[in-house]
Every structure is written in C-alpha cells, then in structure tokens.
Amino acid sequence: MSAKLQPLEAVLDPAGIVTEPAAMAPYLSDWRGRRHGRAQAILRPRTVEEVSAIMRWATQTRTPVVPQGGNTGLSGGATPDGSGEAIMLSLGRLNQIRSVDVLGDTLVAEAGCVLTDVQRAATEADRLFPLSLGSEGSCQIGGIVATNAGGINVIRYGTVRDLVLGLEFVQADGAVIRGLKPLRKDNAGYALRDMLIGSEGTLGIITAAAFKLFARPSVSATALCGFASPAAALQVLHRLRSVAGARISSFELMCDAEMGLTLALVPTTTLPLGERHPWYGFIEIADSDREADVERILTEVLGAALEAEVLTDAVIASSEAQAQAIWTIRLAVAEANRLAGPSVPHDTSVATADVPALITAVEQAAARCFPSARPLFVGHIGDGNIHVTLLFPKAEVPNAAAFAATAAAVNACVFDIVTRLGGSITAEHGIGHSLVGAFAQAAQPEALALMRRVKHAFDPLGILNPGAVLAA
C-alpha cells in the first residue's frame, strides 16, 4: 500500500481497502466491457461516517473519487479513466434498510442496497416499491438515484426522481447532508435532493435515500400483443388510457428483430404467441381494489382493437407464472444485446406521439448510412423512451479503433434525428463519460455554463467523478 493511502487504514477495516490488482479488476471495467480504467485502490466503506472520512482525505490529498454501485450502468459513468490517479468508492457495504413506515408509506435504504432487496422489504410490509428494470438483481440504490433510473413502470409511478422523498449525501469536503425527512411537502429552501438525483456522482456521494411506497396491487392483468407498426401500438395505448387510466402500470414496445435476438440468446425466454409479428407490446394494468375487474378491461380493449384491425394478435396471461414469463422476455433484452455482438446503443426520449417518426427516421438512416447494421428497438412507448441499438457484424468492427469510429458516426446520426424531433439523447441511462461530447453539443450553452457553476459550487476542486457529465 502506498504511503498516500496509509491514513485510510485508520478509517476502514482490512476488507475496506482493496489494492491487489486481481481483486480490483471487476471494479475497473463497465458492465458491457467497453470502458476500462485504473485506480489507486478500491475503498469499501460500511458507514456514512467512513464515507465522510474518505472524502475529507480526498480533499486534503486532492484525489479524484469515482463512486460505484452495482456497476450496471450503461454510460460508463462509474468507471475511472486510465490515469490511475483516482480511488474507486464502492458503496456495496452500505446495505441496510434503515426503516419501513407502513403508515406513512415510506422506506429508507442505504446506497448499497440491491434493488430487489428494497422491493422485497416493501413486499414484506405489504407495500409496493414500483421501480423495476432489467438489472434489478444487481443494481444498487445509490446508482439508480444518481442516474435517475426509469424502468418499466414509469408510465404509472414516474422515474426515481418521482419516488425519492429525501437524500443523505456526503459533500466533496466530507460534510454530511442529512436530508432524509420523509415529507411529502417541504418548501424550506432549495431542493438539494433534486440536484443530486441524476448527477452521477459529480455533486456528492449519495449514502441513503427515503422513498415513497405504494399500495400493493391486489389484482393485475398482463398481456403480450402483436402489432403491425409502432403507430398501431400507440392507438392501443390511447384506447387503454381512455378506459383504464392510472391503472396502466406498463406499456412496452419491442421490434421483431429484438424479440428474435432475445429468444435465441436467453434460454429462459419463450414466445407465448402463435406466430411472430413486426412489433410487440408488453402491457400490464393493476389495481389495489380486489373488486376491480382488470382482466375484463384489458380483454375488452384488446378485443375491440383486434376487431378494428389495430391489433394483430394478443395473449392475456392466465396465471402469475405466465405473466412472469412475458416480463422475462422484456427484462432479458439488455443481456441479449450484450451477447449479440458489437452494437451501438442509445437511450433516446421523444414526445410519445413522435415515437413512430423516430423509429422510421432511424430505420431509413441505418439503411442509407449503415447497411450492414441491424436496427433494434425496445422501450417504454408510454413515456416516449425508446432504446435504439444498431447491431453490427463482428467483421465490420474488428478492433476497438474501428468500433470507436463506427460508434461516433452512429451517435451523430441518431442524435441528429433526436434533436430534430425535440427529444433528449438520454432518457434514463445518464451522460456518464460516453455522452459528454454529445451532451456538450446538444445542450443550450447558457444551461451548460450554469451547470458548470453548480458543479464548481458543490465540488470546487473537481474531485467528484471528474470527466463525467461535464468535460473536465
């Protein structure tokens, strides 16, 4: 251990300082294996007091700090650069559920809690924590707050920002902001909570969060549908909203190419429809009222859509196991894309009505500029967040340099389309390191300048995740 790190031995237990290269390796690459970095050490605190002490040391020594949760991010924001100057701050040992309040419908969890553990704690209290996404078995609370994660239930419950009541975080100088008040109303001063949410570790180290809980649905109905086009899916969504309203928990869209890839590469997936279709919709409606006949509502809406030839096929799950099998397909997409080969993914967001235009424009641009690529589309059509991926043959991108050049060209093309449609280049994955340049080009200059001033106010030495979100 270097002399610089030795003061930390008085702060952390032996398991809290990792310097052996083989033990450090898993922390130094992103989930996709595309970004690799170096670090002086991996620090693994167990308490907020230890995080505070680490940040005081980092300020005194001017050491860059890169926080990391479950390392499931898709924008490279939790991976250090190649200089080796930073320390990695892994928050996985801050993993306590501090409280569950069933009367106030709140839960307080530390940053290292895995999302499924938070879901389970809510369920054990007969409540619902509605955030659900593909990496929920490994992503951690600090990371999902720091990236303002979305998932499949945004259409009903909103993003993480809508679920967070308060935050505890550590400033760059080690000061602890204890903002875990479980209040639904609090107009006392600036909302520091909202500044930290989505900041990707660049403004402070999130150590705990207070969340809203909800009544658990007593009844639900799940369907997998076949559509001829995204426009047809939007028509069904409109029909369903007119009848089911806030009962709609999820409405997801997937193209057939993505479906085929997932079925081929993830053995736990099977298609419950009799044949393949150009597009698919994953739908769930639910209600906490046991008397609500949600299956009848879904059956009637889909039946009318079939008669009107807006829908080409549909199956409604007849059991919880069948419903889980349908959602297994949707949640397996990220793993399928990772296994499929070289791909350039995007996390785009447009107005819901513009989703068909986005997809058509990307398909046309891909055919024109990247004829060997296979466009893949999946996402949350109910909130306009479509994940656009271009999958390339391995021969097209034989090395890292070729991939980087291809990715830059694809990004420029897709981001131009999104910008023309008035959308966002990232809906829920964040800027990280991967999109810093694109964000700088897309953002209003005055807004970017204001963000830099905010960053300087929170982190005057620039030691918090340098180079993420904003160029260093």
pLDDT per residue as tens digits for the range 173-218: 999 999 999 999 999 999 999 999 999 999 999 999 999 999 999 9
pLDDT at 206: 99
Task: Give me the mean pLDDT over the 10-32 stretch.
Answer: 94
3-state secondary structure of 186: coil
pLDDT at 44: 98
3-state secondary structure of 249: strand
Confidence category of residue 255, pLDDT binned at 50, 70, 90: very high
Phi-psi region of 207 (alpha: psi -120 to 50; beta: other; left: phi over 0): alpha
Task: Look at residue 74 and tell me whether its pLDDT is greater than 90.
Answer: no
The total of other beta-carbon atoms located within 10 Å of residue 472's CB is 11
Confidence category of residue 319, pLDDT binned at 50, 70, 90: very high
* Closest listed residue to residue 351, CA positions, set 234, 252, 439, 469: 234
- How far the first Cα of the chain sits from its last, in Å, is 28
Task: Give me the mean pLDDT over the 322-349 stretch.
Answer: 94
pLDDT at 31: 81
Task: Look at residue 472 and tell me whether its pLDDT is greater than 80.
Answer: no
pLDDT at 280: 98
Confidence category of residue 315, pLDDT binned at 50, 70, 90: very high
List pLDDT tens digits, range 92-112. Answer: 999 999 999 999 999 999 999
Confidence category of residue 1, pLDDT binned at 50, 70, 90: confident
Residue 135 burial class via C-beta count within 10 angstroms: exposed 0-12, middle 13-18, buried 19 and up: buried
pLDDT at 32: 77
C-alpha span between 62 and 201 (Å, rounded)? 16
pLDDT at 361: 98
pLDDT at 111: 98
Q: Are 256 and 278 in contact (CB under 8 A)?
A: yes
Task: Give me the mean pLDDT over the 291-303 stretch.
Answer: 94
pLDDT at 222: 98
Q: What is the largest CA-CA distance in the chain?
A: 75
Task: Look at residue 428 and tell me whether its pLDDT is greater than 80.
Answer: yes
Q: How many residues does the chain have?
A: 472
- Residue carrying structure tokens 């402070």: 204
Spacing of C-alpha 51 from chain mean position: 24
Mean pLDDT, the chain, integer? 95
- Structural domains for the chain: 97-215 (3.30.465.10), 219-333 (3.30.70.2190), 341-432 (3.30.70.2740)
Q: Strands, E, within 180-247: which ranges?
A: 205-212, 214-215, 219-227
Angle between helices 355-369 and 400-420 (to 10 degrees): 140
Which percentage of the chain shows pLDDT scores above 70?
100
- Residue carrying structure tokens 């046309």: 364
Whether pTM > 0.85 for this model: the answer is yes
Task: Give me the mean pLDDT over the 245-268 stretch.
Answer: 96
Confidence category of residue 47, pLDDT binned at 50, 70, 90: very high
Q: Strands, E, within 288-354: which ranges?
A: 313-316, 343-349
DSSP 217: P
* Closest listed residue to residue 422, CA positions, set 345, 348, 364: 348
Confidence category of residue 400, pLDDT binned at 50, 70, 90: confident
pLDDT at 27: 96
